[in-house]
Chains A and B, each alone.
Chain A
Amino acid sequence: QSALTQPASVSGSPGQSITISCTGASSDIGGYNYVSWYRQYPGKAPKLLIYGVTNRPSGVSYRFSASKSGNTASLTISGLQAEDEADYYCSSYTSNKSLRLLFGGGTKLTVL
């Protein structure tokens, strides 16, 4: 498995909520609570938004929440703001011996 599956793009209007899915397998998302989410602006380093499936690091807005069901994790951004326009990546530990960590392919969020 080369990457977790994310939609290439999502969009929403200011004030709305959007959800980004991240689908893996029982050897990664489904088998462990080691899912993280990152936001990346163009030309910048990623920033951790969520760790351990549902936990927000100190300083991350409450507008970011996440969950997991089976082999699929989800990131929800509520009260969309223009500054939320960015690329979002999920990651998960994997028991696949070829890798230790898998990233999703990334989702481009457009705020209309």
Chain B
Amino acid sequence: EAQLGESGGGLVKPGGSLRLSCTASGFTFTSYTINWVRQAPGKGLEWVSSISSSSTYLFYADSVRGRFTLSRDNAKSSVYLQMNSLRPEDTGVYFCAREATTGEDAFDVWGQGTMVTVSS
């Protein structure tokens, strides 16, 4: 069964940094684009960033561009989201999601999410 699992969330002060990890199992990791989607408490989903299978293509939402950096280690079946200069509005649950190979920008496998709280 294809699975994703996030880790690395926690409480951080404004201006601080966190590194989230997303580890895959049960599928050929090197064939898939991986995305991060976040959800502020009580709010809707917001796409954050994506990285293609060979790291050739990287995309970021304007709200995080210049502060967040996405990378992947295919040997470890893992994706990493380095989050710097964190702001209170970055608070929320961060999900990693696999992009289906059908090519319609659909996310067919999701992790359980990891909570990030930015507060003084």
Contact = CB atoms under 8 A, between A and B. Distances in A.
Interface of A: 3, 33-36, 38, 40, 44-48, 51-53, 55, 57, 89, 91-93, 98-106
B112 A45 contact: yes
B1 to A, nearest CB: 12
20 contacts: A35-B104, A45-B112, A45-B113, A48-B107, A51-B102, A51-B108, A55-B102, A89-B45, A91-B45, A91-B47, A98-B61, A98-B62, A99-B47, A100-B47, A100-B59, A101-B105, A102-B47, A103-B44, A103-B46, A106-B45
Nearest to B4: A45
Nearest to B109: A48
A3 to B, nearest CB: 7
Given A45-B95, A51-B102, A36 B107 contact: yes
Contact of B44 (A3, A36, A53, A100): A3
